[in-house]
Structure 1
Amino acid sequence: MVSPALRADVLPIERGDGMGRHVDDRAFKPVDRQRYRSKMQRGLDALARMLAEGNFSFPHQQMGLEMELCLVDQAMEPSMTNAEVLEKIDEPAFTTELGQQNIELNVEPRVLAGDSALELEERMTTALRQADSSARDVGAKIVMIGTLPTLRSAHFDPGWLSRNPRYSLLNEQIFLARGEEMLLHMEGVPLGEAYHVERLRSYADSILPESACTSVQLHLQVAPEDFAAHWNAAQCLAGVQVAIGANSPFLLGKALWHETRIPLFLQATDTRPEELKNQGVRPRVWFGERWITSIFDLFEENVRYFPALLPDPEDEDPVAALDAGRAPTLAELRLHNGTIWRWNRPVYDLVDGVPHLRIENRVLPSGPSVVDIVANAAFFYGAQRALTEQDRPLWTQMSFAAAEENLFAGARSGFDAQLYWPGLGWLAPDELVMRKLLPMAHDGLRACGVSDRARERYLGVIEQRCLARRNGATWQRETVARLEERGADRPKALADMLERYIAFADDGEPVHTWPVG
């Protein structure tokens, strides 16, 4: 059994974006969309009042974590058994995800201070070991990885959607909006000097390519008046987070970006045909387009720019709820927010009827090991805190477009990227971390009250990763190249690499220590 401290029923993280609630499997009518738009506007009015009146809970800064996982069989092929695996695990902290080869672990929120990160590592390790033991009972194995390298086009058939009506309804609505098949296309980065550029061009008739985007989502509860600074700081950090944490170099047999998950997620949920892209219509996987001054800016953009995919309104009038002295659920705003995949998403949520605000950082892939995941979280929280406390905010010195360019550069090239940073110009991610961001992360974690033991352990992992210039993506790419040099074809190399990857991840050591060969 999983420790109660890993249960998600204290603050169900998935519920915060609205996608956790039941959505009726039905056809939507024009009047549904009109009513839903009106209800979202009422929600915006209520949210504006709540922000002005200070109606939010913020007893202390808390972090939370969601981790999406893959299931494979003995041959390292995707195992479409999540229903059976979850029945065996029998813990509410583990839930379904989009594809039948996916499950998700929701970790309860906890304070940042003290030894909490060390406890998190221990409890995640225990939970995953116990869950993996249950998965083995149905012939499956749990993998923490950004994109499963042994996925094939056949695994994107709509029949492999998880058995939950909201997934099939979301799939239907995205394809109705798009009006044509999904095109996956990207140009890769060669594995080495002896390799050519590999290109992917593949069509899909479901949103299941999104199930190949297995991520870690970091949540941070913040006070309303501090939200804008924390969100802006998170946007500044997105590129370097991805560059040093990349773990998704292969898709459908091709060596593509170091973090292929970034362009894949954008393409897999794109409701725009080519004509709307050419007009500049915004994608639903979105970095944004400006620095903000309030969380209200983000919810207002959601309503202004994006049609509702699931226009299923609730009965509650949010303004009337406020007038009656109750915090509104803002059900429509939250469900709509769950269908707009910002890399740093705003979250409004209620616990025991008391509202709070969170930032959900979505840029990181799953894996490679639990200690790597906690190290990535510690680096993000520490650097983010330090950036919010600077006398002159970084986002007043940096264009929003530069922050977005950093994200795609880091995703494409990992440690080989060139990132822009005010005062330093263009430099490699490891140099940026070592010269600037690692000292800031130490200061930020101290300010959060994190113990010296936890701070030194996890930021030490980040430091050694940068010195070795090895993350999950570089290890996977180097290992596959070595196996192919020895005569393996690509499918065999990917399967053998994945088998080694799982063994090293199970040992619990950080990826920069994993041998290649």
Structure 2
Amino acid sequence: MWLVERMGAEVSAQSYTREQRQRYREKVRQNLDVFERMLTQSSFEFDRPMTGLEIELNLVDADHQPHFHNAEVLEAIADPGYQTELARYNIELNVPPRPLPGDAAIELENDLRASLNAADAAAARVGSKILAIGILPTIMPEHYEGDWISRNNRYTALNDSIFLARGEDVYLDIEGPTGERVATFCDSIAPESACTSVQLHLQVAPHEFANHWNAAQAISAVQLALAANSPYFFGKRLHAETRIELFTQATDTRPVELKNQGVRPRVFFGERWITSIFDLFEENVRYFPTLLAEVTDEDPMAKLEAGVAPDLAELRLHNGTVYRWNRPIYDIVDGTPHLRVENRVLPAGPTIADVLANAAFYYGAIRVLASADRPVWTKMSFAACEENFRRAARDGIEARLYWPGFGEVSADELVLRHLLPLAHEGLKAWGVSDAVRDRFLGIMEGRATTGLNGAEWQTRCVTHFEGEGHERREALRLMVERYAGHMAGNEPVHTWPVP
């Protein structure tokens, strides 16, 4: 099984000496040299491309406030597929990889619903309820004043390393379209824990990696626009997908002066189209200082020369601390290495049906975009791609995006006229059944046609409750209560009634 944790494996220390950091840098560079050699000499697994899925989840109490009891919840669930996350009100579900063809997605939907229902029943025994939503709307600054961080060395080490690099508190400054704004200093990376996402993995051949990564970058804005589900943070209506800007700011290792110098942020969209997976790993090593300096005894070159795939643990650990929205992954299963594109764009929720619709759209569209004779990235500047991403995060389903051949067009029109037919074509090429395509791409069509995604539903719902005279916090609580009921029913969000 793939190891697909957001923050990665446990580490042994919470802080590192200067000597440890120097040794780690040397080892990372050695790993990079070996990886470059592997790309030209080694055999990677790609004959049967696999897909994988991670869903990050929130825990709430009976009043739909964050419930900081993930250790007790995980003990009650007693399923290794559920794991700890950064904050004590977060858990994560890792879904075993499986092939795409046939009715696999419908089978997965049934399996995930059964798994989450069982997990939710177990969580209820310790007073928790599981909620899939991009940012929990009821999280407030005071919730981070207590013991918020999960009991895991890696999270503490990461928090300490980020603040050691910054040398000062994090300043969050996010303003929404109506002027609502969060502007506050934070003395930990706690706000990052508010960002819960879905990660999609696709195993690809080394020579096809660049095309798939470029395609994933190109389509990331459309993913965001259609799936936005994070409009509220600290009680304010901010971006349609506030998770993007919040994650960027909350984990920023740069003080203001380094930002002014143009130093790259740790949450990195990228700055160019690539020609090889090596471009991304090499950028990570060249641009980004060490955060977690765990060193192993592995001699990667000796293992490679002995015909054994090296772990490259230091390179992989470093890669896991550079938060690209489409991240390159090197991994080994049963002794054979493989490469994956990890798509980290999507928010969690609203339902399993919506999550799998988002996944079907991504896997179908990327199949066609990556194999086009004249790919979209040869006709669009990288700067235009990044601007699309920012617009989609800010404006959601109402975003206007640039696309070659269409010019500037609304996200819903781009999906309906162009990308949805491509997704159908791509899934068909994967061997996906008509039933799967009709169900999940039908959900995407419904969302684009109605203009109703998670962010839009949340906003309309809160506006309604405020119109009835409720204060913002109570309106958010009532909205989350209603959201939780709809989520349990698994009807896609575009069919949810707005009160």
CA distance in 1, matches of 2:26, 2:280: 18
Aligned counterparts of 1:327 and 1:411: Cα–Cα separation in 2: 39
1:94 equivalent in structure 2: 82
Q: How far does residue 388 in structure 1 lie from its aligned partner after superposition?
A: 1.1
The whole-number CA distance in structure 1 between the counterparts of 2:334 and 2:368 is: 32
* Equivalent residues in 2 for 1:73-222, closer than 5 Å: 73-157=61-145, 159-190=147-178, 197-222=179-204
CA distance in 2, matches of 1:296, 1:47: 8
Secondary structure at 1:450's aligned position in 2? coil
Matches of 1:81 and 1:26, distance apart in 2 = 22
**C-alpha distance in 1, partners of 2:295/2:43?**
24
The yes-or-no answer on 1:47 pairing with 2:35 is: yes
What is the alpha-carbon root mean square deviation over aligned residues? 1.0
- 2:277 matched to which residue of 1? 295
- CA drift of 1:351 comes to 0.8
Check 1:368–1:26 CA distance in 2 against 1; reply closer, same or farther (3 A cut): closer
The amino acid that maps onto 1:410 is: A
Aligned match for 2:480, one of 498, 505, 510: 498
| Alpha-carbon distance in structure 1 between the residues aligned to 2:496 and 2:19 | 57
Tell me how far apart the structure 2 counterparts of residues 173 and 500 of structure 1 sit (CA, whole Å). 39
Q: Is the 8 A contact 2:49 2:202 kept in 1?
A: yes
SS at match of 1:65: strand
SS in 1 for 2:134: coil
Contact 2:10 2:152 in 1 (8 A): no
- Within 1, Cα distance between the matches of 2:8 and 2:164? 22
For 2:144 and 2:259, locate their aligned partners in 1 and report how far apart those are by CA, in whole Å: 24
* Structure-2 residue corresponding to 1:386: 368
Q: Secondary structure of 1:151's partner?
A: coil
Q: Does the aligned pair in 1 maintain the 2:15–2:160 contact within 8 Å? A: no
> Which of these residues, 262, 269, 279, is aligned with residue 244 of structure 2?
262
Does the 8 A contact of 1:157 with 1:205 survive in 2?
Answer: no
Q: Distance in 2 between matches of 1:336 and 1:484?
A: 46
Q: Structure 1 stretches (4+) deviating beyond 3 angstroms?
A: none
Pairwise CA distance, 1:398: 0.4
Matches within 5 A, 1:337-376: 337-376=319-358
The alignment status of 1:276 with 2:258, answered yes or no, reads yes
Which residue in 2 is equivalent to 1:36? 24
Alpha-carbon distance in structure 1 between the residues aligned to 2:263 and 2:146? 27
1:154 deviates by 1.8
Cα drift, residue 217 of structure 1:
0.3
Provide Cα deviations, 1:140-176, integer angstroms capped at 9, x if missing partner: 1000000000001122237210011111111000000
Report SS of the residue matched to 1:35.
Answer: helix
Pairing 1:485–2:467 present: yes
Please give the secondary structure, in 2, of the residue aligned with 1:346. strand
Write out per-residue CA displacement over residues 92-143 of structure 1, whole angstroms, 9 at most, x where no aligned residue: 0000000000000000000011111111111110100000000100111000
Instruction: Give the structure-2-normalised TM-score.
Output: 0.99
Identify if the C-alpha distance between structure 1 residues 27 and 464 changes in structure 2 by more than 3 Å, giving closer, same or farther: closer
Output one character per residue of 1:162-194: Cα deviation in whole Å (capped at 9) or x when no partner.
Answer: 01111111100000001111111111023xxxx
Worse overlay, 23-32 or 431-440: 23-32
Q: Separation in 1 of the partners of 2:96 and 2:383?
A: 34
Whole-Å Cα distance in 1 between the matches of residues 445 and 303 of structure 2?
50
**C-alpha separation between the residues in 2 aligned to 1:430 and 1:158?**
42
Structure 1 residue 313: Cα displacement: 1.1
State the Cα distance separating 1:22 from its structure 2 match: 2.7
Q: Structure 2 CA distance, aligned partners of 1:279 and 1:159?
A: 36
Number of aligned residues: 499
Amino acid corresponding to residue 345 of structure 1 in structure 2: R
Say if 2:1 is the partner of 1:13: no
The answer to whether 1:239 aligns with 2:221 is yes
Task: Find the counterpart in structure 2 of residue 421 from structure 1.
Answer: 403
Q: Are the counterparts in 1 of residues 240 and 396 from structure 2 also a CA contact under 8 Å? A: yes
1:13, distance to aligned residue in structure 2 (A): 2.1
| 1:4 match | none
State which of 53, 59, 66 in structure 1 corresponds to 2:54. 66
Equivalent position amino acid for 2:193 in 1: S
**Match runs of 1:315-326 below 5 Å:** 315-326=297-308
User: How many Å separate the matches in 2 of 1:451 and 1:198?
Assistant: 45
Quick one: distance in 2 between partners of 1:142 and 1:394? 39
**Aligned residue identity for 2:147:** G
What amino acid maps onto 1:366 in structure 2?
A
Aligned to 2:421: 439
Deviation at 1:26, TM superposition (A): 4.2
Q: Which amino acid aligns with 1:125?
A: R
CA distance in 1, matches of 2:220, 2:271: 14
Distance of 1:392 and 1:367 partners within structure 2: 34
Q: For 1:21 and 1:315, how far apart are their aligned partners in 2?
A: 17
Which residue in the other structure is 1:7 paired with?
Answer: none
Residue deviations 1:377-424, cap 9 Å, x none?
Answer: 000010000101211011110001111111110010012111000110
The answer to whether the 8 Å contact 1:158/1:208 transfers is no
Q: Deviations over 1:2-28 (max 9, x none)?
A: xxxxxxxx33322xx7x4333122431
Equivalent of residue 513 in structure 1, options 475, 481, 495: 495
Deviations along 1:206-254, whole A, 9 cap, x unmatched?
1111110000000001111110000000000010100000000000000
Contact 1:416 1:428 in 2 (8 A): yes
Tell me which residue corresponds to 2:295. 313
Q: Using the alignment, how far apart are the partners of 2:296 and 2:96 within structure 1? A: 27
Paired residue type of 2:142 = A
**Deviations 1:255-285 (Å, cap 9, x if unpaired)?**
0000000000001100001000000000010
Name structure 2 gaps, 5 residues minimum: none
Deviations 1:319-378 (A, max 9, x none): 111111110000011000111100000000011221100010000000000000000000
Query: Contact 2:134–2:195 at 8 Å: present in 1 too?
Result: yes
CA distance in 1, matches of 2:437, 2:72: 39
In structure 1, runs of 5+ residues without a counterpart are 1-9, 191-196
* Secondary structure at 1:160 match in 2: coil
- Which TM-score applies when normalising by structure 1? 0.95
**Residue in 2 aligned with 1:227?**
209
- 8 Å CA contact 1:438–1:459 kept in 2: the answer is yes
Q: Distance in 1 between matches of 2:118 and 2:184?
A: 37
